[in-house]
Structure 1
Amino acid sequence: MSRLTITAVRLTPILVSDPPLLNTQGVHQPYTPRLVVEVETADGVTGLGETYGDTTYLRLARPLADALPGHRVSDLNALFALAERVCGDAPPATGAATLDVGGQRGVLTADKLRLSVVSAFEVACLDALGRTLGLPVHALLGGKVRDSVDYSAYLFHRWARHPDGVPCEPDDWGAALDPAGIVTQARRFAREHGFTSFKLKGGVFEPDREIAAVLALAEAFPGMPLRLDPNGAWSVETSLYVAGRLRGVLQYLEDPATGTDAMARVSAGTDVPLATNMCVTTVPEIRDAFTRDAVQIVLSDHHYWGGLHRTRELAAVCRAFGVGLSMHSNTHLGISLAAMTQVAATVPHLDYACDSHYPWQREDVITTRTRFRDGRVTVSDTPGLGVELDHERLAVLHGRWLDESTYGHYRDRDDAAAMRAADPGWQAPSVPRW
């Protein structure tokens, strides 16, 4: 048996505390599900991966985990065909799980689900392969072109705490519900992590209120890049209004309207660059968006695209079309941040600082939390991803997931349901919202 042969795969679903961050769909739940994948080889080497942990993803991950022993960690191209064969077209769960996490990527298809599941297995195999060969993952992807990766502060309108009566882990950030609160939040990010660019999650309040927040940031941080992302909450007309008010202020406007057609109409009416992680999330969506100049920047996400190799393929396509590149983030832990950093280090034309929710996460499953210095993460040259699993902490977070009576309703992320804990009549708004 080759030392690269997979002998065991372990799946550990967990629930990780999450602060009350607001978006157009509602608010983050007090706990968000993640899935940790461990791939063990005949040599006793274990590689790590991480992805969404909602029950829909788990139902696909389990048959893939069962089918992997006997395969080699180097046979990465075979992962996709294997997943298609053994996972099939498992239907999404009912309710919020029929939408992507947070409702921000449209209706889930079987292909989208499989790619998000395969991404964790591909990363785990690369981690195991790198550990076995004594090489960092970036070397397996062709080698790094930078020694550190630039990240942007991710700002949110937020409550001070989750509603009373909801089990949660408190934090000390306080509320941010107006421009002054957003600026205070940004100052703390800059002070603690050295961030020099800022992205605000919009689509929460009426556009003029969010315009005011961006202008307040521009006054507080003159010359620093600013971004605004309302998650497709606006009409074409509202998008053009906001773009006009913030012309010369925004580095880019991300997904102001929903869908390629609406984005193309916005793009035709403004010279503010438009970015997306919503209308370009699969290969078939690329042609229409790029040929119609609907977007000028794509926020890649290795969870969406199926792993690190396919992220590099996307980067090459963007380069061919002259489309800029950055990286999208959803609530993630240190394994995913390490994977993002490793692949980002290998992309020559990573034009913009990457997103990361990581500073918001107070819990992790790695032994040493990753640090941002001057808003950047140093690219690890340690074999594999460069992170180690904290087994004790993993067990605690898995224990929370197992406690169905207390936490069972958090196993599927549903921002609208979380909002109803504070506002029983809340329904996720249809778009355009304004």
Structure 2
Amino acid sequence: MTRDLTVTDVRLTPILVADPPLLNTQGVHQPYTPRLVVEVVTADGTTGVGETYGDTKYLELARPFARKLVGRRVGDLNALPVLADEVAVDGARVSRQVDVGGLRGVQTADKLRLSVVSAFEVACLDALGKALGLPVHALLGGKVRDTVEYSAYLFYKWAEHPAGVACQKDDWGAAVDPAGVVAQARRFKDRYGFTSFKLKGGVFPPDEEIAAVRALAEAFPGHPLRLDPNGAWTVATSLRVADALADVLEYLEDPALGTPAMAEVAAGTSVPLATNMCVTTFAEIEEAFTKGAVQVVLSDHHYWGGLRNTRELAAICRTFGVGVSMHSNTHLGISLAAMTQVASTVPNLRHACDSHYPWQSEDVLTSRLTFEDGAVRVSDAPGLGVELDRGKMEFLHQRWLSDDGSLRERDDAAAMRAADPDWVTPRLPRW
């Protein structure tokens, strides 16, 4: 019997998820961060799920997009970008500055559309896989590995959010110096078995962050280490840090802002440079690759437009001899499952992927995904292999509904001003 896989309903559920006080060059994470859960329902009752950013600008685009998807076949994936292009976008709402929510370079209307398309594509693939009895990786050509390795994502961190801010407590404690960073890394290793470590930098003066990486190298000899200051340094500072850490860094991620500056740094150091800021669309690849500005691209299916585009990106990187790994922003288990499915199909994945998931104490799944020896096992169950817990999702949605609007937009600078009213988002480069 032929199943009717026509999309009959699309449900959008914006939620607020607890987030620890993690520091970056723009400020600090808010106590709750917005995410959007997308559900695609077909005529035969199959439901697929996806996830993306939940800020208002994404939700406002997702709503008309969802209406356009109804009546189409769930497997008509090539139509998704076309449908997104048909949806009007209020260009005035799209920031032309560094995107605080993702610290991923200049935000544009095209990137916004792709970030929304990604959630719908994942939901459609999940539904299609369930209907056909196939895992998503089979729909992408099949897995080449059974587990996907992830890296411990270390942050400078306060012990708690500022006094007077309603929030959920965490048990990680503070990490504002080399000893605190090493203690955090040990906890990651003990809890999840991670064997590589990435430190989010750009928070303290470079010499302090050099000392933190040196402390990690001493505590975990031979383990791959990464440092990511999100474009906070000048070319000269970037070269000085690269020289100081050349013997311990796996790569240095976005030390300077923009492709021309990255190319200058790359020309002056043997340390590989990685990016998720100057290469975030296909149009940005040519300049970065021909100038030798980056040696590793950190993909992210959310803003590259989905899992199939992620595979295309990996193929281009393979052609040019550029490494590929995976970027992460605050996300839940739906996205981790999608990341793992597509990562399992990329043959040239030579670096452990990033993931914020260990930092998230809340989820919308019936069962959290787990890390064993720093890796996630690739599910062979139909679709993504995850199931929504509607009670948990409704709880997080009610939090979103009850918010006065102040937390519906990711704004690390605003969160910092709760602790320091005089805080001004730093002009990059900072050092």
TM range (shorter): over 0.9
SS of 1:10's partner is strand
- 8 Å CA contact retained: 2:28, 2:412: yes
TM-score normalised by length of structure 1: 0.97
Q: Paired residue for 1:168? A: 167
Amino acid at match of 1:359: P
How far apart, in 2, do the equivalents of 1:329 and 1:74 lie? 27
Query: How far apart, in 1, do the equivalents of 2:181 and 2:68 lie?
Result: 47
* Cα root mean square deviation, aligned: 1.2
Q: Secondary structure at the match of 1:123?
A: helix
Q: 1:179 to 1:92 in 2, by over 3 A?
A: farther
- Matched to 1:318, the amino acid is C
Q: For the structure 1 residues 121 and 395, does the alpha-carbon distance in structure 2 shift closer, same or farther, using more than 3 Å as the test?
A: same
8 Å contact 1:196–1:375 — kept in the other structure? yes
C-alpha separation in 2, matches of 1:90 and 1:119? 19
Q: Could you tell me which residue of structure 2 aligns to residue 385 of structure 1?
A: 384
Question: 2: CA distance between counterparts of 1:419 and 1:97?
Answer: 21
Identity among equivalent pairs (%) = 74
Q: Closer, same or farther in 2 for the Cα pair 1:98/1:235, shift >3 Å?
A: closer
For the residue of structure 2 that corresponds to 1:152, the secondary structure is strand
Partner of 1:424: 421
8 Å CA contact 2:65, 2:83 repeated in 1: yes
Shift of 1:411: 0.1
Q: What is the aligned partner in structure 2 of residue 88 from structure 1? A: 88
In structure 1, what residue type is equivalent to 2:255?
P
Counterpart residue identity of residue 248, structure 2: V
Distance (Å, rounded) in 1 between the aligned partners of 2:230 and 2:136: 32
Contact 1:315 1:347 in 2 (8 A): yes
Whole-angstrom distance in 2 between the partners of 1:71 and 1:103:
31
Letter matched to residue 30 of structure 1: P
Matched, 1:403 2:424: no
1:48 to 2:45 alignment: no
Asked whether the equivalents of residues 97 and 412 of structure 1 are also in contact (C-alpha less than 8 Å), the reply is no
2:105·2:278 contact (CA, 8 Å) conserved in 1?
no
Structure 1 residue 357 and structure 2 residue 395: aligned?
no
| 2:154 aligned residue | 155
1:103 Cα deviation from its structure 2 partner: 5.8
What is the letter of the counterpart of residue 409 of structure 1? S
TM-superposed CA distance for 1:104, in Å, is 1.4
- Hey, what's the Cα distance between the residues in 2 that align with 1:313 and 1:101? 27
Q: Which residue of 2 aligns with 1:245?
A: 244
Structure 1's consecutive aligned runs of 4 or more residues displaced over 4 angstroms after TM superposition are: 96-99
In structure 2, relative to structure 1, the CA distance for the partners of 1:101 and 1:332 (3 Å cut) is: farther
Residue by residue over 1:33-63, the C-alpha shift from the partner in whole angstroms, topping out at 9 and shown as x without a partner, is 0000000001100000000000000010000
Distance 1:99 1:264 in 2: 19
TM-score where L is the length of structure 2: 0.98
Alpha-carbon distance, 1:91 to partner: 2.5
Q: Residues of 2 paired with 1:2 and 1:75: CA distance?
A: 15
The DSSP-based 3-state class of the residue aligned with 1:275 is strand
Letter in 1 for 2:91: P
Tell me, which stretches of 5 or more residues in structure 2 are unaligned? none
* Cross-structure match for 2:114: 115
| Residue number in structure 2 paired with 1:31 | 32
Equivalent in the alignment of 2:7: 6
* CA distance in structure 1 between the aligned counterparts of 2:418 and 2:227, rounded to whole angstroms: 27
Between the aligned partners of 1:7 and 1:101, the Cα distance in structure 2 is: 36
Name the counterpart of 2:281: 282
User: Mean Cα displacement is larger for which, 64-73 or 185-194?
Assistant: 64-73
Q: Deviations over 1:187-244 (max 9, x none)?
A: 0000000000000000000000000000000000000000000000000000000000
Matched residue type, 2:170: D
Distance 1:290 1:283 in 2: 11
Task: Tell whether 2:408 aligns with 1:433.
Answer: no
